[in-house]
């Protein structure tokens, strides 16, 4: 469990650092931690959406998920609560960030490649699953 928590904070660290880097390039650094939390939330929502899309594809069913759907509301609430207690309510992430800053450069680059590979995988997988769902399964209804 400790390794999963550490990996979770490392993904946040890499998102945070990339947001700092891009903010410096385009006009200034502000609300960086908030932007990183939003990015983490988006990734988590895309993972959830991917699972729901593949569930629909595999079982050939149309899930009736609306804005007022309990499944959607509970899932979003759990993601919000997780991110709130990990990144907003406490400053634990700052301790992890300073710890990750001390990693050797080669380890940090290797970790960055792994994190960005995962981010790209999650992003493409979500959009591909949505495309497949729309193209094949929803045409049956």
Express each pLDDT in 31-55 by its tens digit. Answer: 788 889 999 999 999 999 999 899 8
* pLDDT number for residue 65: 74
This prediction's pTM = 0.85
The number of domains in the chain is: 1
Domain that holds residue 93: 2-140
Express each pLDDT in 102-138 by its tens digit. Answer: 999 999 999 999 999 999 999 999 999 999 988 876 5
How many helices (DSSP H) and strands (DSSP E) are in the chain? 5, 0
Rounded Cα gap, residues 45 and 65, in angstroms: 14
* pLDDT number for residue 16: 92
Give the torsion sign (CA, 54, 60, 65, 71): negative
> What residues have CB less than 8 Å from 9, skipping those under 6 apart?
86, 92, 93, 96, 97, 100
């Amino acid at each position: 469990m400790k390794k999963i928590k550490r990996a979770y904070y490392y993904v946040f660290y890499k998102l945070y650092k990339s947001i700092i880097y891009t903010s410096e390039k385009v006009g200034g650094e502000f609300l960086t931690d908030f932007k990183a939390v939003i990015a983490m939330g988006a990734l988590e929502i895309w993972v959830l959406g991917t699972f729901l899309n593949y569930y629909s594809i595999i079982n050939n069913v149309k899930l009736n998920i609306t804005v007022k759907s309990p499944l959607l509301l509970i899932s979003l609430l759990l993601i919000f609560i997780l991110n709130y207690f990990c990144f907003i309510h406490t400053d634990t992430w700052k301790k992890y960030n300073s710890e990750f800053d001390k990693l050797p450069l080669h380890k940090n680059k290797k970790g960055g490649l792994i994190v960005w590979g995962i981010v790209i995988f999650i992003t493409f997988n979500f959009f591909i699953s949505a495309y497949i769902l729309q193209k094949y399964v929803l045409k049956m209804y």
